[in-house]
Amino acid sequence: MYDEMSKSGEPFDIYISTLAESRMRHQAIKATPDRLEVMGLLLGEVCRWRGKAYAVVMNVGTTDLENTPAKVRFDPGALPGLFKELDGAGFDYIIVGWYHSHPGHTCFLSRTDLRTQRTMFDQPFHCALVIDPVNREIKAFKLSEDGYTEVPFALVSEGGPKLRRLRTGMQG
């Protein structure tokens, strides 16, 4: 999928900073011994190129979780802390989607995941990232007419010109 997109000259649906990717990956790996799911929000920006909207994920926001091997949600008592963390993100982000992990059971959207996506993340740029730290897999999904579809993403090194421009443009 990556190779095809690179050749097409079209923008990927999602660009993920190496900072955001490593934070998600490490959070997922840390919970792997107990096979716990983790989750969080994708913070970034929506850009447009030749009429196509795509998301740039610059960072992630997460907090204490109520999690089991097959279920995860934010700990309701920790939400004020999450909002505080988001406020301290240091840039004017928008929430471009969410991520969660499937430790050992591959990357897809379950019926519950799909319901979450339809309820909370129904904009064309909204995506869902699923990480399987056991099978070392990460996939990006978006809603489609008949459910959901996998979409291509690319990693952007944190100091890349695009991210640097976004960050400096948004300070203050």
Selected from 10, 113, 150, 158, the binder of Zn ion by CB under 5 A is 113
Spatial contact of 66 and 79, defined as CB atoms under 8 Å apart: no
Which of these ranges, 39-47, 83-91, 103-111, 120-128, lies near Zn ion under the rule CB under 5 A? 103-111
Closer residue to Zn ion (CB): 56 or 129: 129
Taking CB under 5 A as the rule, does residue 110 contact Zn ion?
Answer: yes
Choice between 22 and 110, CB closer to Zn ion: 110
Residue closer to Zn ion, measured from CB, 113 or 150: 113
Which of the ranges 13-21, 47-55, 102-110, 121-129 carries the binding residues for Zn ion, by CB under 5 A? Answer: 102-110
Question: What SS3 state is found at 79?
Answer: helix
Segment interacting with Zn ion, rule: CB under 5 A, options 11-19, 22-30, 57-65, 112-120: 112-120
Q: Which is nearer to Zn ion, 105 or 167 (CB)?
A: 105
Going through the chain in order, the beta strands assigned E by DSSP cover 14-17, 39-49, 52-61, 65-68, 71-74, 94-101, 127-132, 137-144, 147-151, 153-156
18 vs 116, beta carbon nearer Zn ion? 116
What does the alpha-carbon distance between residue 134 and residue 35 come to, in Å, rounded to a whole number?
9
Closest distance to Zn ion from the beta carbon of 141 (Å): 10
Q: Which residue is nearest to Zn ion (CB)?
A: 113
Q: Quote the tokens at residue 77.
A: 């008592």
User: 130 with 116: CB under 8 angstroms?
Assistant: no
- 53 token code pair: 């909207």
Q: Which positions lie near Zn ion, rule CB under 5 A? A: 110, 113
